Amino acid sequence: MYGTRPLVALLISLAVIAVSHSSVLEKTTAYDVLQTSPFDHGYDTKLPELVVEEKEQNDDEVPLEGLTDDELEEYVNAEDGKLFSELDILSGKATLAAQKGRSKRWVGAAGRALFSAGRALARTLDKGRTTSSAGKITRQYHKAGDYQSAVRDFSSLNPSNPKPFTGKNGLEGITGQLGSKYTIQARSSSTSGRPTLEIFKNGKPDGSIVRKIRYD
């Protein structure tokens, strides 16, 4: 017989392990409660901070209300340079698209001026008044000619989807798109009674410039 001492020692060891394990569980549970209970003084009751995304500023926007007349004129002059350069590219791209698939050929000086229609039109214009109202700018130009002159200038920019239209008092005109950004319209008459050619951004957003060429 081995006696009872080893058995007693084993039972005592098992009892100690069980008590220790129970103590650890109690401490862990108590710690978890302290961390999660909203009624405990140590609980952080602050709500997470709301992150408000600031509206991204459009670099193209200019605060028109803060401009003097001279500054407005200077701004529109700078924008005119951008517009007529854009028209050079848009009209040239439209011409190339129309010629796609054709064999290359010698085209002479006129063909080499493929990307110059916008600047060519600008050189024929005399600047008129520049006005600003309700976030819109109107730049007027003058040019000798009649409604047929307006239609020729319209066609020189090679707009896509040209469509004729009519209106009151015998008004007739034609409208088209310059790329995906601009609308161009030739009209036989306007509020001033003269034929006009208008170029403006689609939808006429705030801060945009409407160019009106009046023929007389």
* pLDDT computed for residue 114 by the predictor: 85
State pLDDT tens for residues 79-129.
999 999 999 999 999 988 888 766 555 555 555 578 999 999 999 999 999
Tokens (6 digits) for 170: 């015998």
CB neighbour burial string for 178-215, b if at least 16 within 10 angstroms, e if fewer: beeebbbbbbbbeeeebbbbbbbeeeeeebbbbbbbbb
* Banded pLDDT at 205 (limits 50, 70, 90): confident
Whole-model pTM? 0.67
% of the chain at pLDDT higher than 90: 50
Q: For 149-198, what is each residue's pLDDT tens digit?
A: 999 999 999 999 999 999 998 899 999 999 999 999 999 998 878 999 99
Res 72 pLDDT > 60: yes
* DSSP codes of every residue in 155-177: HHT--EEEEEEE-GGG-EEEEEE
